[in-house]
Amino acid sequence: MNALDSERIGDMLLAAGWEHAEKEAEADLVLFNTCCVRDSAEKRAIGRLTLLKPWKKQNPNRLLVLCGCIAQKDGADLLEKIPFLDIVIGTRDYPSLPALLERVAQTSERLAVTEHIDSQIPDIYIPRANKSLSAFVTVMYGCDNYCSYCIVPHVRGREVSREKKSIINEIRALAKSGVKETTLLGQNVNSYKDAESGADFADLLSGVNDISGIERIRFTTSHPKDVSPKLICAMANLEHVCEHFHLPAQSGADAVLNRMNRKYTRDDYLNLAARIRAEIPNVVLTTDLLVGFPGETNADFQETLKLCREVRWDAAFTFIYSVRPGTAAAEYSDNVPLEVKKERVAELIHLQEKISAEKNASLIGEILEVLVERASARNPRDLAGKDRGGRTVVFAGDAMLIGKIVPVRICRSTAHTLIGEISSSPAHQITTPDTQKVML
């Protein structure tokens, strides 16, 4: 989401007459768009920002702007903490940035603007300078779930959905510019609701599916408690919606899920995963898992490992819990020692890597549709792209194939990558062994 925010801010400034600078030394303005979901990300951002002090000192007329979640969280305090910072701008105040820059340039004021956290963001369409095959599109802002560990509702505000017609118009324009794949973004896309038309997220998917030129549709993130039968049906039946469901579980222990305020149980999650696999047999399921949450016992952690074995996700993003001030969990005793957290996350990663490797190995011999995105980073003579499930596929091929969807037969695999060769036969629907392993 931050990557898309950065792109939109850049497009906004280009429209206001600014030009992109290739290097910091050439820039009159540097913007830092920040994330504070995890303590490590916040520390890296502030550390990187302080390195710009010599850049600012060299020319005091240069402007330094801090955007994003850290800006929203700390506001004017950042102006005191970082005396060479010019503007702090919150997550729902971006449309005012060009005017603020002009004001600061004329008056030398230092400004913090973060007061519109619960306001509707003006849905102003700005043509996007998108030159890639894929594009992110925000469909809603904020979150109403207030998971006890999560800072997002505090820095992104309450849920606000964009109008369906505005989203459709934006994606139509992207398709005309050459975009073939769009990813719909929201903190919880399942709760999308267009106030004007009453359209829900499944209706939005249907509308995007009808846009000429868009060949693949993805979305993230989903909250398990809000996944509806209608949404699963839409995924199963809409031609261009990819068979990839990112469904954060966070923990396999009911006691931990309750303290996290996740509003579902492990059985709820298992039943949902079973239903999704029953209706979308070739679906790729991925997840997020949080280790070391306050009060997590060894027995709780074993439940998470057990859930991992039962669901057999294709991939999992694993994180160590860190306290975020302002969240409900910040009031809990962070009583799991760091060394224990590290041991647990290492064990979880080891298990998931084994499962991912097994699942990828089961695809050897299969033919997959791959949207070719670029030359491979490791070997420029190879190409890299994604299949409909979002898995990375590498194969030898001519650069002229970039931007095309080609059938690739899988020959080898690792836990993270599929290696194949171009096939003369078309791709076909696959059914993984896990379809039969999880029962309703």
The per-residue pLDDT for 40 is 74
For 193-210, how does the pLDDT look when each residue is reduced to its tens digit (9 = 90+)? 999 999 999 999 999 999
The per-residue pLDDT for 437 is 32
Kindly report which listed range (33-37, 242-246, 279-283) carries the lowest average pLDDT score: 33-37
The per-residue pLDDT for 440 is 23
Length of the chain: 440
Check if the beta carbon of residue 225 is closer than 8 Å to that of residue 266: no
Superfamily of domain 2-113: Methylthiotransferase, N-terminal domain (3.40.50.12160)
Q: What b/e string do you get for 279-292 counting C-beta neighbours within 10 Å, with b at 16 or more?
A: ebbbbbbbbebbbb
The per-residue pLDDT for 280 is 97
The per-residue pLDDT for 309 is 98
The per-residue pLDDT for 68 is 85
Which residues is 287 bridged to in the sheet?
316
Which of 159, 158, 150 has the alpha carbon at shortest distance from 190?
A: 159
2-113 shares its CATH topology with 367-431: no
Tokens of 334: 């962070």
Check if the beta carbon of residue 249 is closer than 8 Å to that of residue 224: yes
Q: What is the value of pTM for the model shown?
A: 0.84
Kindly report which listed range (66-70, 127-131, 334-338) carries the lowest average pLDDT score: 127-131
Burial of 37 (0-12, 13-18, 19+ CB in 10 A): middle
The per-residue pLDDT for 30 is 93
Residues 261/263/268/273 CA torsion (nearest 10 deg): -80
Query: For 271-286, what is the mean pLDDT?
Result: 97
pLDDT band for 124, please (50, 70, 90 cuts). Answer: low
- Placement of tokens 């973004």 in the chain: 185
pLDDT band for 428, please (50, 70, 90 cuts). Answer: low
Query: For 395-403, what is the mean pLDDT?
Result: 94
Kindly report which listed range (47-51, 99-103, 309-313) carries the lowest average pLDDT score: 47-51
Kindly report which listed range (12-16, 79-83, 363-367) carries the lowest average pLDDT score: 12-16
The per-residue pLDDT for 431 is 45
The per-residue pLDDT for 435 is 39
The residue type at 272: L
Check if the beta carbon of residue 139 is closer than 8 Å to that of residue 204: yes
Report in angstroms the alpha-carbon separations of 187 from 63, 155, 213, 247, 248: 31, 12, 26, 12, 12
pLDDT band for 271, please (50, 70, 90 cuts). Answer: very high
Check if the beta carbon of residue 312 is closer than 8 Å to that of residue 132: no
Kindly report which listed range (5-9, 20-24, 377-381, 404-408) carries the lowest average pLDDT score: 5-9
Neighbouring C-beta atoms of residue 44, cutoff 10 Å: 13
The per-residue pLDDT for 117 is 61
71 against 147, higher pLDDT: 147
Kindly report which listed range (66-75, 278-287, 343-352, 402-411) carries the lowest average pLDDT score: 66-75
The per-residue pLDDT for 129 is 57
**Percent of the chain topping pLDDT 70:** 93
Calculate the average pLDDT of the chain. Answer: 91
Check if the beta carbon of residue 219 is closer than 8 Å to that of residue 183: yes
The yes-or-no verdict on residue 399 having pLDDT over 60 is: yes
The yes-or-no verdict on residue 83 having pLDDT over 60 is: yes
- Placement of tokens 């290696």 in the chain: 419
- Residue spans of alpha helices (H) in 262-375: 266-279, 298-311, 338-361
Query: For 88-113, what is the mean pLDDT?
Result: 89
Check if the beta carbon of residue 259 is closer than 8 Å to that of residue 294: yes
313 against 433, higher pLDDT: 313
**Assigned architecture for domain 367-431:** Beta Barrel (2.40)
Query: For 165-173, what is the mean pLDDT?
Result: 95
Query: For 343-369, what is the mean pLDDT?
Result: 98
What residues contact 60, with CB distance under 8 A and at least 6 apart?
Answer: none
Burial of 8 (0-12, 13-18, 19+ CB in 10 A): middle
Check if the beta carbon of residue 291 is closer than 8 Å to that of residue 345: yes
The per-residue pLDDT for 6 is 84
CA 87, CA 78: separation in Å to the nearest integer? 9
CA 324, CA 330: separation in Å to the nearest integer? 6
CA 225, CA 246: separation in Å to the nearest integer? 13
pLDDT band for 163, please (50, 70, 90 cuts). Answer: very high
The per-residue pLDDT for 436 is 33
For 413-426, how does the pLDDT look when each residue is reduced to its tens digit (9 = 90+)? 999 999 999 998 77
Please state the domain extents for the chain: 2-113, 367-431
- Placement of tokens 């002009």 in the chain: 102
Residue 9: which H helix or E strand, with range? helix 2-15
